[in-house]
A and B are shown apart, each in its own frame.
Chain A
Amino acid sequence: MRCILPDKELLQRVLREALARAGDFADVFVEERRVVGITCEADQIERMVAGTDVGAGIRVIAGGNSVYGYTNDLSWDGLMNAARIVVQATGEGGGEKVLDLRPVTAPYAFAVGLAPEKVEAVAKVELVRRANDRARTAGPAVRQVTVGYADTHQKVLIANTEGQYVEDERVRTRLMVNVVARKDGLIQTGYEAAGGFKGLELYQEVPPEQVADKAASRALQMLEARPAPSGRMPVVLSSEAGGTMVHEACGHGLEADLVQKKLSVYAGRIGEKVAAPPVTVIDDATLPGRYGSLVFDDEGTPGQKTVLIAAGVLAGYMYDRLTAGREGKSSTGNGRRESYQHRPIPRMRNTYIAPGADDPAALIASVRRGLLVKKMGGGEVNTANGDFVFEVAEGYMIENGRVAYPVRGATLAGNGPQVLQLVEGVGTDLGFGIGTCGKDGQGVPVGDAQPTILLRELVVGGTEQG
């Protein structure tokens, strides 16, 4: 589809209009997003979806407060109208000067091997079929298989009144497999996903069959599982488990908007010991191909690697422009948004606990009775007090240092700062997970990772007493 994105001259006019009455800063974010989605269920290619979304969001910041408006009319009139509507909601007081737009140099580039729009729909259907066929042959207990494929190609233009002008393209693809298995009236599910800031070359590195195998074996394994116990016990989080724990237990609490609103237990604690010494936490945009990677964030700030906790000591927070400006700092490139319909806020990219010095097998062997988490599901945190939970998608009891039997239906509950102090061992390995992180009603793609780690104690919320 031919789609005309606005030129620099128009963006400059829009910015001038936006600061016509008041404001210290304004920016405009223009987006064209093309998506393809395929869903296979009940052995049928049920959903074939394609679409284009275009739009622009205009923001004016005045005295630390922001007014945001968006439209999907990208014509000269459409954009100028949107700017005028935003201006009407700002106060009086004389706007700042608007500087001439100059392109910002990209700090690095990500190579996309096989761009989604260069691949025929039939080839994408084939990837979905391969995953579906593989999962269906995993065993007679497999009752349903859902395979979802999605690719997005997002082109953005970002311009602001400080004269920064950025053009950026983001290509992401994702394949997910959900398997439902049933035996003797018991239903269990297994989920696995692969995704990255990549084109379809991803599926040469991670074949659809591999994603299907993991999802199917997880569902079948959980059919054999015993109900999880309830109570406090040591927990080993395997590097394969994904990074939900670090994301919830500390990531959100280190986002500067929550810190500044005093909604984080980590507020005012820079330089303090907030975790056990082997714990280093990093949020990194620069990792090639990872799901949360980016070259520029959604405010046009170049991506970077941000150390949040260094050897147990709180080193910094994640900032967007607005929160950085309040402290006279620079943005760390964490200003992200779901789409042109949303204002940017501080968000994670790829968040991980850095690998340590312990042998992963030895960490498991050191536990007399506890829980081994092989795969984490979703989670949630109350940043005001640090209480968090996350789901165990694949778990095993450890007895006398050995992996004894699978358990199902457990959630782990803990308190962020306390749990990070309870880290007793950090493995030499590192495993990544992908997810869509929700905050303030906006979902953004993120990666997370961790080595195998041993926690002295967490609350396991199962259904069996003791």
Chain B
Amino acid sequence: MDLARKFGAETAEGFVSQSEELNIEVREGQVENLKLAREQGLGIRALMGGRMGFAFTSDLSPEAIEKTASLAVEMAAQASADAHNGFPRPFAGYPRLDLYDAAIAETPLENKIELAREVEAAGRAYDPRVQVTEACAYHQSLAHVHVANSLGLAAEFAASVCGGHAVLVAAEDGDYQTGFGLQYAWHLPDVAAGKIGREAAQRAVQMLGARNVEAQEVPVVFDPYVMAGFLGILAPALTGQAVQKGKSVFAGRLGQQVGSPRVTIIDSGLNTAGIGASPFDGEGVPSRETVLVKEGRLAAFLHNTYTAAKEGTASTGNGNRGSFRSVPEVGPTNFYLAPGDLTPDRLIGDIQKGFYVTQVMGMHTANPVSGDFSVGAAGLWIENGELAYPVRGAAIAGNIGDLLTEIEGVADDLRFIGSVGAPTVRIGRMCVSG
């Protein structure tokens, strides 16, 4: 920061992260790939005359840091001036969260390899038709983050997360179906290896013999994985950034009904059920809980320091930073749809004919600005309130905004897939292309 100011910045910010990563991939009981990594880096933001520049380096030698500071100032000179650019002032304190467990790093490698093997063994033992392992893995990452700015803010935290995932293929009569299972935890004993493997196996096996269906309009049920995918494309539209840029379907609709009364959407950096928890964001602003949609009514948007200044409000602690290589944008921490009180079975039970979607393809092609989506879908066909047979090769299309208003039922099975959480959800009607 001192260097940046020496080169001409009025205020500056430094963001340093050090991280360690371990990934173990097992196939047929053998460690097929093992990855161990350490990295560190620095990102410097320099502000002068309302112009913000950014530079980063993974080389932390004194010369490299000096060069990076001067580069940040050089970049600032080319940026447009904007009076809302700035850094947060120091905060009185930060929430205490249980995010670091030294036992994760200290546990021997062999135990973690064994955990990955258990994931695979449980999946393969679930059903003889589970014949191919695409990946069964253990992951852990440790990170130590420091943020400081020349207004006096200085904060640091450490976090460690561990978990596993499985992608298994079931085969029968020349038909191959893939299933996926995943879990993350803050403590090693909380990782349920067998459950991860069995979930992937079950999701693959239930799809064997899938057929195509005719195009029709029917009620549709999304499982938590699929609904979490849809929430992922909804999240950008609920940021102040998108609203201010005219890139949100929710712009100008605060206080209005944007979803059915069953829809409550929350962002919370304090909820440790998701791996997006942290005491503060990429600018050092304390994390908090923000209710974005309350019983269908649009209640708030997410902000970082810049978008909040532009809006005349306070940052919600959503200045997300991918790594030291990027500037803080606005993004969710843990983003989830609050659970309802029905069981998933009840949600499906009174559907005469419908589609229970367990896999979607091409979710990344959905348009976060217009909210339009059209995705490939596979799952189970519902007949007389029961899951009748598997379906593949279908497509479903619509608009994520409309989807919120058409949510008829929300189940009680909220589950986090990484940092996005969703329960099973039922949509009144959707066009299913066969």
Contacts and interface: CB of A to CB of B under 8 A. Distances in A.
Interface of A: 1-3, 38, 41-55, 65-73, 82, 85-86, 88-89, 121-122, 125, 143-144, 146, 180, 182, 186-189, 228, 230-232, 261-263, 265, 341, 343, 377-382, 384-385, 387-391, 408-411, 413-415, 459-466
A70 B38 CA distance: 6
B163 to A, nearest CB: 14
A367 B212 CA distance: 25
B376 A463 contact: no
B245 A65 contact: no
A1 B67 contact: yes
A180 B242 CA distance: 11
Given A68-B35, A72-B41, A384 B177 contact: yes
B234 to A, nearest CB: 14
What bracket does the count of chain B residues touching chain A fall in? 35 or more
16 contacts: A1-B63, A1-B68, A48-B54, A49-B327, A50-B75, A51-B56, A52-B58, A70-B38, A144-B246, A261-B133, A380-B365, A384-B177, A389-B362, A389-B375, A391-B374, A411-B376
A36 to B, nearest CB: 8
A388 B361 contact: yes
Interface in B50-72: 52-59, 63-64, 67-68, 71-72
Given A69-B35, A261-B134, A461-B374, A42 B245 contact: yes
A70 B397 CA distance: 42
Given A69-B37, A121-B74, A261-B132, A231 B362 contact: no
A413 B247 contact: no
Contact of B37 (A70, A186, A410, A464): A70
B35 A343 contact: yes
B109 interface: yes
Contacts of A263: 132, 134, 169, 176
B374 A465 contact: no
B365 A378 contact: yes
A49 B75 contact: yes
Contacts of B256: none
A43 B246 CA distance: 13
Interface in B416-434: 431, 433-434
Contacts, number: 250
B39 A70 contact: yes
> Is chain A's interface secondary structure helix, strand, loop, or mixed overall?
strand
Contacts of B396: 461
B245 A460 contact: no
A259 to B, nearest CB: 12
Contacts of A69: 35-37
B8 interface: no
Contact of B33 (A231, A343, A382): A343
> Is chain B's interface secondary structure helix, strand, loop, or mixed overall?
strand
Given A50-B71, A391-B374, A462-B433, A65 B33 contact: yes
Interface of B: 27, 30-41, 43, 52-59, 63-64, 67-68, 71-72, 74-76, 78-80, 82, 109, 132-134, 169, 175-178, 215, 217, 244-247, 249, 325-327, 361-362, 364-365, 367, 369-372, 374-376, 378, 392-398, 431, 433-434
B217 A465 contact: yes
B178 A384 contact: yes
A85 B34 CA distance: 11
Closest 6 CB pairs of A and B: A461-B395, A411-B374, A389-B376, A391-B365, A48-B75, A51-B56
B79 A390 contact: no
Contacts of B178: 382, 384-385
Contact of A121 (B75, B80, B215): B75
A205 B52 CA distance: 32
Contacts of A341: 37, 39
Contact of B365 (A49, A379, A382): A379
A47 B361 contact: no
Contacts of B38: 70-73, 82
Contact of B63 (A2, A55, A411): A2
Given A46-B82, A463-B397, 9 more contacts: A51-B56, A53-B57, A65-B31, A69-B37, A71-B37, A71-B38, A180-B369, A186-B370, A378-B364
A413 B397 contact: no
A48 B246 CA distance: 22
A159 B344 CA distance: 55
A350 B33 CA distance: 27
Given A121-B74, A230-B215, A461-B433, A55 B39 contact: yes
Nearest to B23: A68
Contacts of B133: 261
Contacts of B177: 384-385
A466 B56 CA distance: 53
A460 to B, nearest CB: 7
Which of A44, A51, A144, A382 has the most C-beta atoms of chain B within 10 angstroms of its own C-beta? Answer: A51
Contacts of A89: 34, 36, 109
A224 B347 CA distance: 38
Contacts of B55: 49-51
A384 B325 CA distance: 35
A459 B395 contact: yes
A414 B394 CA distance: 9
Contacts of A47: 54, 79, 327
A391 B433 contact: no
A464 to B, nearest CB: 8
A188 to B, nearest CB: 6
Given A44-B82, A68-B33, A387 B392 contact: yes
A182 B245 CA distance: 12
Given A411-B362, A459-B393, A461-B374, A49 B54 contact: yes
A73 B64 CA distance: 13
A421 to B, nearest CB: 15
Contacts of A48: 52-54, 75-76, 78-79
B355 to A, nearest CB: 13
Nearest to A69: B36
A389 B35 contact: no
Contact of B215 (A180, A231, A411): A231
A2 B134 CA distance: 43
Contacts of B246: 143-144, 180, 182
B35 A230 contact: no
Given A72-B59, A144-B245, A391-B365, A66 B394 contact: no
B306 to A, nearest CB: 9
Nearest to B53: A48
B247 A144 contact: yes
Contact of A410 (B71, B78, B374): B374
A122 B245 CA distance: 24
Nearest to B67: A1
Contacts of A51: 43, 55-57, 68, 71, 325
Contact of B58 (A38, A55, A180, A265): A55
Contacts of A409: 372, 374, 397
Given A44-B80, A66-B33, A462-B433, A52 B59 contact: yes
Contacts of A45: 78-80
B77 to A, nearest CB: 8
B75 A54 contact: no
A411 B79 contact: no
Contact of A411 (B249, B392, B397): B397
Contacts of A125: 78
A89 B109 CA distance: 8
B42 to A, nearest CB: 10
Contacts of A82: 38
